[in-house]
Amino acid sequence: MYDFIPRSGNADVSKGAIENSYKKALETIQGIYPKVAPETIDFIRERSKMVYFKENSIILDYEQVNSYCLFICSGLMRSCIKYRGRQYTSWYMAAGDMVIAANSWYDQTPSTERLMAMKDTFCIALHYNDLEYIYQRWEGFNLVGRKFTEKYYIQARQMTHWRFFAPLYVYKIIIKQYWNIARQVPLAEISNFLGVARETLSRIRNKRWKDENEDLSSARFADKP
């Protein structure tokens, strides 16, 4: 169970930071669906909770049911999966991202992935039942859910293609399209994610791209056995 933060704030997060976080979250929602009903906004404010995760803490563990959708206000998370006894990072999430463990969230079944805080992370949390109520009570809000689903589905599809590219090109994609994440994730983490030595990635990182406007869709495929 999460340690929720009172609306008045605490030692980790001030009341002003909480209000600013709500403002950003609601601006994100209204940017997707400008006609969102004031009653919906009031319900979200009333039913959602603030939660703070310390660096390296486990947010959702394997076999736990994902009961809360998280909107990251500040900080950094990663999603991990187990394969043949080893743990691998599947991706990273930063401020402005909505976070769920999809396999667990949609069916409310035990999770096959782990969510972890890579930095001290502050989120707004909304329970599964409350979000389902919003969808049923205010049908227009389904557009918000659909847009977020589309965004992360496209992102997931893109990442499945990365395994065909050489690490250099994948890194260039991350730098160009996910700079908010790339600038925060330690070099050792990124090199592990790409499957290259840290020294190799360091050379790539320090190298000036010959063509900053290169069309990444024409990148050479990595050699595969």
Q: What is the mean pLDDT of residues 96-102?
A: 94
Number of folded domains in the chain?
2
Q: What is the CATH number of the domain that holds 63?
A: 2.60.120.10
CA–CA gap between residue 88 and residue 74 (Å, rounded) = 23
Residue where one domain finishes, among candidates 113, 128, 158:
158
Q: Is the pLDDT of residue 211 over 50?
A: no
Q: Residues 124, 172: one domain?
A: no
> Does 206 map to a domain?
yes
Where does a domain end: 123, 140, 158?
158
Is residue 49 exposed (0-12), middle (13-18) or buried (19+ Cβ within 10 Å)? middle
- The verdict on residue 225 lying in a domain is no
For the stretch 111-159, pLDDT in tens is 999 999 999 999 999 999 999 999 999 988 999 999 999 989 999 999 9
pLDDT at 220: 43
Specify whether 43 is located in the same domain as 96: yes
Does residue 72 lie within any of the structural domains? yes
Tokens representing residue 214 in the block: 């290169």
**Tokens representing residue 187 in the block:** 């070099």
Pair (123, 214) in one structural domain: no
Is residue 140 domain-shared with residue 183, that is, in the same domain?
Answer: no
**Would the pLDDT of 67 be above 50?**
yes
Question: Containing domain of residue 55, as a range?
Answer: 4-158
- Residue 203: pLDDT band by 50, 70, 90 thresholds? confident
- pLDDT tens digit sequence for 163-194: 899 888 898 899 889 999 999 999 889 998 98
Q: Please provide the DSSP assignment of 69-96 as one string.
A: EEEEEESEEEEEEEETTEEEEEEEEETT
Assess whether 49 and 34 both reside in one domain.
yes
* Mean pLDDT of the 29-33 span: 88
Same domain as 122, residue 31:
yes
Residue 213 scores a pLDDT above 60: no
Share of the chain above pLDDT 90, in %: 55
Examine the domain organization and report whether 10 and 64 are in the same domain: yes
